[in-house]
Amino acid sequence: MLGETKILLVDDEKRFRETWHSLLTGRGYDVITAENGQIALDILSKNRINVIILDLNMPVMSGQEALEVINTEYPKIPVIIITGHGTVDSAVECMKKGVYDFVTKPFDTEQLLLTIERAVEKRILEQKDKISRDMIVRILHDLNAEKKRLKTIINCMANGVLVTNRNLEVVLHNPVVMRLMETSERLTNPFPINSLINDESLIKTLKQIANEETPENEFISQEISIGNNVLRAITAPSLAPDRDLFWAVDGAVTVLEDISAFKQLDQMKTDFVNMVAHELRSPLVAIKQQNNVLLEGLCGPLGEKQHEFVRRGSNKIDALLGLINDLLDVAKIEAGKYVQRRVPTDIGKIIEETVALMESRATEKGIALTFSLKDLKPVQADPKNIEEILNNLISNAINYSPEGGQVSVSAQGLGEYMEIKVEDTGVGISSEELPKIFDKFYRVKHQKTRQVTGTGLGLAIVKGIVDAHQGNIDVESVVDKGTVFKILLPMITE
């Protein structure tokens, strides 16, 4: 620090200046000398000086005159007065002007050095204190600006924002929250959450977060009903500095989004699909029955061409009925009404029966269809849903496998779960298409499978059923080598 300390030595005696310049430089100080007050003021205007050693009696401009200017323009710099004509009155006068110390000649060298050292320390401490105060002021200014900016952003958001502390008190909310809560009451933060929201599921979530039962990086999404509104509430822990843990859960932040319109649109879509499906199915069933009467010859014999045209028409009707049934199934899955009855189900038996049913179809295409079962326990499931899963996956495996291919179905117990695998040696699915195969109406594009008909809803239905049974479905595939669908379902272990 001494190497950065500049001392201005002002005295008209050249020998004194040279002697103390050498002495102070040897102590590590950066020393600048001046022979009168005028030169000293010029040096002060161009340099950052830490301490001034000033003689009172000098030509051109005396120390008293220079001190007047220094007190006005450089009041923070400690000034040590040295003089050979010092009196008590002059010392008192100088001290009144803010002089750090007053030393008369002849003086004790060590005492003067100690005085200079203390003056330097005082100046350095004052500079550090100023830097610290400036930094604190700047930080407080930035924090205040950031707080105002954040408040403006939150108040301008279209969604409601609710911040609660560990005591389940609302410490911050924006005007949208009050509109979503359908209340005009003015509440001043903080206030208890239950004075604004009585939804038990959301309050339970806030309690879990406050009790640190939820991971810090987890977001919890749930739907709540407030009057006529349906809201999506996304809640996450809020963190604050902690003395022991550095960061700790301080409460929760909840973003509320009004999804009432989306719910209404979704219900309208479901109602429309159901209406159209039912209105289409009735006439199609009637047409199919009439075609069956024609095909069976009950209205007289048909020629070969006539029989073929009627048969093709019946196949198209079957495809349309399949599409309608799939649309109804998707609508039920999205409404959460597809899984109707869950009972302890023997998955192995359903696999065996489904494979037996599909075997003739596989044989017609020259495909070997096999199955294996190992360490199985019952699964709490809807048997019809499980049949539909297997029918879809096995049918796809047969449809997308070339002649001479193989399709294998296996199920085995893995701890608390059952793994069902449907594996084929078919055309496979590219890595770009894999993420899309469970989307509604999406069909894999491959030149070898253009002749395969379908609605593009089968795998969406399969995933919906698996999800409804708290299971998981995954797929692995290599183009021109085959595909494996893997399903995990929880088994009944007790």
The whole-number pLDDT of residue 88 equals 67
The whole-number pLDDT of residue 170 equals 87
pTM over 0.85: no
The whole-number pLDDT of residue 244 equals 58
Rounded CA-CA distance 491/324 in Å is 33
Please say if the pLDDT value at position 1 is more than 50: no
Side chain identity at 32, as an amino acid letter? I
Of 384 and 186, the one with more pLDDT: 384
Q: Which helix (H) or strand (E) holds 171?
A: strand 169-173
Task: Check if the beta carbon of residue 281 is closer than 8 Å to that of residue 269.
Answer: no
Residue 111 burial (CB count, 10 A):
11
Average pLDDT over every residue of 420-426:
92
Query: Where residue 3 falls among pLDDT bands split at 50, 70, 90?
Result: very low
* Sign of the dihedral defined by the CA atoms of residues 271, 275, 277, 278, in that order: positive
R_g of the chain computed on alpha carbons: 44
The whole-number pLDDT of residue 38 equals 92
Find the range with the poorest average confidence among 27-41, 237-251, 301-315, 388-402.
237-251
Owner of token pair 């609710």: 162
* pLDDT digit string, tens, across residues 58-100: 888 988 888 888 888 988 889 988 887 666 677 677 777 778 8
Please say if the pLDDT value at position 419 is more than 90: yes
Average pLDDT over every residue of 218-247:
78
Of 390 and 327, the one with more pLDDT: 390
Find the range with the poorest average confidence among 75-79, 303-307, 378-382.
303-307
Average pLDDT over every residue of 109-135:
85
Report H helices in 237-382.
260-295, 304-334, 347-364
Please say if the pLDDT value at position 450 is more than 60: no
Rounded CA-CA distance 402/367 in Å is 8
Tokens found for residue 319: 């495809």
Of 352 and 336, the one with more pLDDT: 352
Average pLDDT over every residue of 183-195:
80
From residue 35, how far is each of 12, 22, 62 by CA, in Å? 4, 16, 10
Q: What is the mean pLDDT of the chain?
A: 82
- The burial class, CB within 10 Å (0-12 / 13-18 / 19+), for 394 is buried
Average pLDDT over every residue of 367-385:
89
What would you measure as the largest C-alpha separation in the chain, in angstroms? 146
Average pLDDT over every residue of 414-424:
91
Please say if the pLDDT value at position 19 is more than 80: yes
Query: Where residue 216 falls among pLDDT bands split at 50, 70, 90?
Result: low
Q: Which of 45, 48, 39 is closest to 17 using CA atoms?
A: 39
| Cβ-based neighbours of 292, under 8 Å, separated by 6 or more | 314
Residue 171 CA to its chain's centroid (Å): 22
**Range among 40-54, 83-97, 223-237 with highest mean pLDDT value:** 40-54
List % helix, strand, coil for the chain (3-state, nearest 5): 45, 25, 30
DSSP state of 218: -
